[in-house]
Amino acid sequence: MNFKVIEELVEKFYEGSTTPAEERQLRDFFSREAVPPHLSVHADLFRYYAETGKEELPDPEFESSFLAAIDEVPAIPMYSRKKQFFFLTGIAAAVLLLAGMVYTFRNDVFLRSSKKSTETEIAYQQTKNALAMLSANFNTGLDQAQKLENFQRGLNEVQKLQAFQKGIDQMNKFSKFYQYQQIIINPGDKPRP
């Protein structure tokens, strides 16, 4: 092959402008033994490429160990793993929340039963007294209320009396009518007071 062509291809190669086909051409050329010294650097590089390209994964059991590995890993698709993750996160959150509540509650009870026990006692007694007082007064209040009820009954009676009063007024009108009748019949008579 014409070295001129190769030299041009080499220049293009270092500029990154060779096509894969041209690079294959260079590789083929340099894989031959006889290369002029001024091209030997590039020959070395292309021989390195060719050699490295033959490198293989060393483990001959690779495929079978992969198959064993995927047998061990249960065949869970990604989406269900995601679901599982969210489910577990949910449970974890619930447990934490519960734990937090229990802790807070226990703390509260603890404080009441130890530090504030005497205060609580006093408060209890005071509350009890207050309640007793309230209940006693409540009873008298009840009596009063019963009296009020009687008063109400009285009021009702009075209202009935009022109705009676209306009747009396009517009667009074009659009596006035009677007076005027008397005046008409006996004009000489003075009206009675």
Residues that bind other proteins (CB under 8 A): 13-17, 20, 23-24, 40-42, 44-45, 47-49, 51-53, 55-59, 62-63, 65-66, 69-70, 73, 77-78
CB 127 within 8 A of CB 134: no
Q: Could you say which DSSP state residue 153 is in?
A: H
CB of 3 to other proteins, least distance (A): 18
CB of 50 to other proteins, least distance (A): 9
Give the residue carrying structure tokens 């509260």: 108
> Which of residues 44 and 119 has its CB atom nearest to other proteins in the complex?
44
CB of 62 to other proteins, least distance (A): 6
CB 46 within 8 A of CB 27: yes
Q: In one letter, which amino acid is 42?
A: H
Q: 183, exposed or middle or buried, with CB in 10 Å at 0-12, 13-18, 19+?
A: middle
Rg of the chain's alpha carbons, rounded to an integer? Answer: 59
> Which of residues 59 and 169 has its CB atom nearest to other proteins in the complex?
59
Cα separation of 133 and 131, whole Å? 5
> Which of residues 80 and 182 has its CB atom nearest to other proteins in the complex?
80
E strand spans, 89-177: none
Instruction: Extract the tokens encoding 157.
Output: 């009676």
CB of 59 to other proteins, least distance (A): 6
> Which of residues 70 and 168 has its CB atom nearest to other proteins in the complex?
70
CB of 105 to other proteins, least distance (A): 44
> Which of residues 77 and 188 has its CB atom nearest to other proteins in the complex?
77
